[in-house]
Each structure stands twice: as structure tokens, then as C-alpha cells.
């Protein structure tokens, strides 16, 4: 599975087909506009939800001993990783505003000001925004709507050219809260089972 949004590697093969440039002609919808994306598959939802139930249940059944403490630790670490990765698919959102593109990925809400985008290119099911040497790839767009999404982005980029630049720092997203909630449930189930707290 390809991550929803990622920085494209400089080491990708030159034989790969590069996306095509986008013409600047599109009617901008009412903003903020949520980019249409394919829904998260059922297995991503299952992977995301299962650790919240399975790991606390397993932790509450383990006998307390040196091996069990190690097992609890490993279950919590593995489950947290599953929640983080699956949450990146389930919680993935991309919203366009007059000043920037905002993408909610696994743990962060990332923001890219339109003035920082040098070029926008459309692929088969993705749009690539180039900023200097960095390429940010927005994946999961339905194939029949890629051209529309890319054209809207290009129109917003051109409209923002003469405006003051408004940059935002990356900030924690809902994924962070879910991982913290998972950790509390996983550790808390074990502590409550053995009356440690």
C-alpha cells in the first residue's frame, strides 16, 4: 500500500513516468475544500480498531512475572505502531484553503503555503506538489477527479501569488490523541488487573 501523502524520493528511477503539468484553468469551489479521496478500506479500519480491544484484554489476562512484563511491553509497542500506521490511512484528510494545503496524515497536520509550491503535476491517481528539491505526493484521489483536483490547486496557487505568505507549523493531529488513548488503555488494563494503581 502506498502511503496517502509522502515526500517523493530523489532516488526514484528515471524510467518511471513523470506526472504531466497542470493547466491553470479551473473554477475554485467554496473554500475550505476537502479533496475527494478514496475511502479507507475495511481492513485499515479493522487494523486501527483491533489493538484498542485486543491488547488491553490480553494485558489483563497475563500473569504478572518477568516474562509477562516483557510481553506487555512488546504488545503495547507493536499495537501502538499498528494504530499509528493504520490511523494514517483511516484518518487521512487533505483540505485546500485560500492560503495553503493542509494534509492530516498519521500523527501530524502538515501545511504547505501556496507561495512555496513551484509546480503542480497530475499523475494517474495522485497530484505532486514540487517545492524546490522536495516533492509532496498526494495519493488516493479517484482517477476521474485527479485533473479537477490538480486544476483547483493550480488556480489557488496562482491566486495566492500576490498575497502575503502565511506559513503554519506542523501540529499534532487526531492520530496523536488516538495513540495516547491506546497507551493509557493498554497500560491501564494491566495495572488495574493487578491492583498496582
For residue 31, give every residue at least 6 positions away whose Cβ sits within 8 Å of its Cβ, in sequence order, or none.
96, 97, 98
**What pLDDT sits at residue 16?**
47
**What pLDDT sits at residue 10?**
46
Grid coordinates representing 2 are: 502506498
pLDDT digit of tens for each residue in the chain (197 aa)?
Answer: 445 555 555 445 444 445 555 554 557 888 899 999 999 999 999 999 999 999 999 988 888 778 888 999 999 999 999 999 999 899 999 999 999 999 988 788 989 999 999 999 998 888 999 888 888 889 999 999 999 999 999 999 998 888 877 777 888 888 899 999 999 999 998 888 877 76
DSSP 164: P
Phi and psi angles of residue 35, each rounded to the nearest 5 degrees, phi first: -65, 130
**What pLDDT sits at residue 6?**
59
For residue 179, give every residue at least 6 positions away whose Cβ sits within 8 Å of its Cβ, in sequence order, or none.
80, 83, 84, 87, 107
**What pLDDT sits at residue 8?**
55
Side-chain-side CA neighbours of residue 46 (13 Å): 3
**What pLDDT sits at residue 17?**
44
What global pTM score does this model have?
0.75
Q: Where are the domains of the chain?
A: 19-193
Amino acid at each position: 500500500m502506498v502511503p496517502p501523502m509522502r515526500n517523493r524520493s530523489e532516488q526514484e528511477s528515471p524510467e518511471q513516468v513523470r506526472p504531466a503539468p497542470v493547466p491553470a484553468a479551473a473554477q475554485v469551489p467554496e473554500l475550505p475544500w476537502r479533496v475527494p479521496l478514496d475511502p479507507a478500506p475495511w481492513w485499515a479500519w479493522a487494523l486501527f480498531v483491533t489493538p484498542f480491544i485486543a491488547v488491553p484484554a490480553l494485558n489483563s489476562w497475563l500473569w504478572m512475572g518477568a516474562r509477562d512484563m516483557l510481553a506487555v511491553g512488546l504488545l503495547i509497542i507493536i499495537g501502538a505502531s499498528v494504530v499509528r500506521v493504520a490511523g494514517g490511512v483511516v484518518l487521512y484528510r487533505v483540505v485546500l484553503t485560500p492560503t495553503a494545503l493542509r494534509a492530516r496524515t498519521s500523527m501530524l497536520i502538515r501545511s504547505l503555503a501556496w507561495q512555496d509550491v513551484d509546480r503542480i503535476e497530475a499523475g494517474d491517481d495522485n497530484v505532486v506538489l514540487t517545492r524546490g528539491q522536495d516533492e509532496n505526493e498526494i495519493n488516493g484521489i479517484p482517477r476521474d477527479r485527479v485533473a479537477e483536483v490538480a486544476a483547483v490547486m493550480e488556480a489557488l496557487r496562482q491566486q495566492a501569488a500576490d498575497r502575503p505568505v502565511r506559513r503554519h507549523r506542523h501540529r499534532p493531529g487526531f492520530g496523536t490523541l488516538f495513540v495516547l488513548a491506546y497507551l493509557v488503555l493498554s497500560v491501564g488494563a494491566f495495572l488495574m488487573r493487578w491492583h498496582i494503581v
